[in-house]
Structure 1
Amino acid sequence: MSLTLDFVSTIRAERSGLIDLLADVDAMTAWVREHAAELDVDPGFTATEEGREETVRLRQAVRALFARAVAPEPPSRADAADLPAFGGSLALVNATALAAPRAPQLSWNGQPALVTAPAVEAEPSTRVRGALARAAVEFLAGPDRTQLRTCQAPRCVLYFIKEHPRQEWCSTACGNRARAARHYREHKK
C-alpha cells in the first residue's frame, strides 16, 4: 500500500466503530515510527500535541482531495460530512509539501548515486507532514489516481486502488461482507 493510502487509512472502521490511528500523541508516535523510513525521520520520533493536530488537519485535507478524486462516486462514509472545503485543502497540501523541501544530492562511494537530503532545517514533525503532503501530491498527480475508489462494503470507510476490472471492494473480507449483506437483504422475509 502506498504511504498516502496508509495515511488516509488512519481512519478506519472496526466492529466497535470508527478508529483513529492518530487519535492522540502516543498513537501518532507509534504510526510515524512504523513509517519512519518512508517519512525520513528518526525511528525514535515522538509526536507533540501541536504536531498531531497539524497532521490530522493535513489528513483531512488529503481525504477531501481523495473525495474529489473519486467523484462522482461517493466519498468515504467515515467523514464525508466533516471534510474541509476543496480549495482550502488543496492550498494546505501544497503549502505543506513546500514546508520541508528536499533536494537531490550526489553521493560517491565508489559509484555515483542519487540521494535526497533536507534542503532546509526543519523540525521532525514538519518533515513528517512535508513527506506526507509530497506523497499525496505525487499520488494524486500520478497514474494510480484514476483507479482510486471508495470501498462500498458495509461499515468500510477505506479508499483503495482498483487493481483489476471486476474489483469492487478494498479486500476479500469486505467483498464477503458485502455479498452476505446483499444475500440477507434479498432473502429477508
Structure 2
Amino acid sequence: MEQHVALALAGTIRHDGNGGVADDLDDVTGLATWLRENATPLRPYTGDLDVPGVADERTRREVVALRRAVRSLFAQAVRPGPPSRADSASLLSPQEAVDRINETAAAVPVSPVLTWAPDAAPTLGWRGGATDARLRLVAGLARAAAEFVTGPARERLRACPAPRCVRYFVQEHPRQAWCKPSCGNRARVARHYQRQTADR
C-alpha cells in the first residue's frame, strides 16, 4: 500500500466513533504525535528535520490551514462524486486552495507551483524561496500535496461513502468502495437495517 503524506494529512479529520468528527490536530500534542507517526514518509519533503520537535501552536495553525486546502482540492478531485461529509461547510474554492498550497510551498528553497485550471489536468512547476524549521515542515507538506494532486494517485482518490466516515482514500483496486474493511462492514449493516425496517 502506497504512503501518501497529503492523504495522511487529510486523514487527520476522521469519524470519532460516536457519530461526530474528530480532529487529530486539535492541539499541539496531537500535531507532535502525527508528525512522529509520519516522520519517515515526511523525510523526502523535510530532509533531516526533527519534525516532531517543530510542533508548536503557530505550526499547528499553519498545518491545519494547509489541511483545509488539501481537503478542498480532494473534494474537487473526487467529483462528480460527493466530497467527504466533514468538508461540505468548510471548503475553499479551488483557486483559494491552490493559492494556499503555492504560497506555503514557496517557503522552501525549491518549491512546487501548482496550477489547476478549469477543465484541465493539474500541472506542477518549481520555484525558489527562503526557509526555517517551521516553514520547512509546512512547505514540505504543501509540496507533498501538490505532488499528490498532480500525480497518478489523484485519479484513484475517493471519499469513503460509509455511514459516518469522513476519510478520503486511494483505491487500491477497481472494486474497492470503502477506505477500510470496517467501513464496508458498517455500510452493509446499515443497508441490512434499512431493508429490515422497510419490510415492517
**TM-score (norm: length of structure 1):** 0.85
Q: Post-superposition shift, 1:38?
A: 3.2
Give the structure 2 partner of residue 136 of structure 1: 145
Alignment of 1:27-176 (within 5 A): 27-39=30-42, 40=46, 41-42=49-50, 44-102=52-110, 122-176=131-185
**TM-score (norm: length of structure 2):** 0.81
Q: Post-superposition shift, 1:79?
A: 2.2
Q: Post-superposition shift, 1:121?
A: 5.8
Q: Post-superposition shift, 1:37?
A: 3.5
- Larger mean CA deviation between 170-179 and 16-25 belongs to 16-25
Q: Distance in 2 between matches of 1:97 and 1:19?
A: 27
Q: Which structure would you say has the larger Rg?
A: 1
Instruction: List per-residue Cα deviations over 1:67-97 (Å, max 9, x = no partner).
Output: 0001111101112211222211111101212
Q: Post-superposition shift, 1:120?
A: 6.5
| Identical aligned residues as a percent | 47
Q: Distance in 2 between matches of 1:167 and 1:2?
A: 18
Q: Distance in 2 between matches of 1:56 and 1:87?
A: 18
- Larger mean CA deviation between 47-56 and 148-157 belongs to 47-56
Give the partner amino acid of 1:4.
A
* Residues matched between the structures, number: 174
Instruction: List per-residue Cα deviations over 1:133-159 (Å, max 9, x = no partner).
Output: 111111110111111000000010000
What SS does structure 1 have at the residue aligned with 2:100?
helix
Instruction: List per-residue Cα deviations over 1:16-55 (Å, max 9, x = no partner).
Output: 3211111011111221122233333215514221211111
For the aligned residue pairs, the C-alpha RMSD in angstroms reads 1.7
Give the structure 1 partner of residue 186 of structure 2: 177
Unaligned segments of structure 1, at least 5 residues: 104-118
Change (3 A) 1:95 1:120: closer
CA contact (8 A) 1:159 1:170 kept: yes
CA contact (8 A) 1:8 1:62 kept: yes
What SS does structure 1 have at the residue aligned with 2:92?
coil
- Larger mean CA deviation between 161-170 and 149-158 belongs to 161-170
CA contact (8 A) 1:101 1:130 kept: no
What SS does structure 2 have at the residue aligned with 1:155?
coil
Unaligned segments of structure 2, at least 5 residues: 112-127
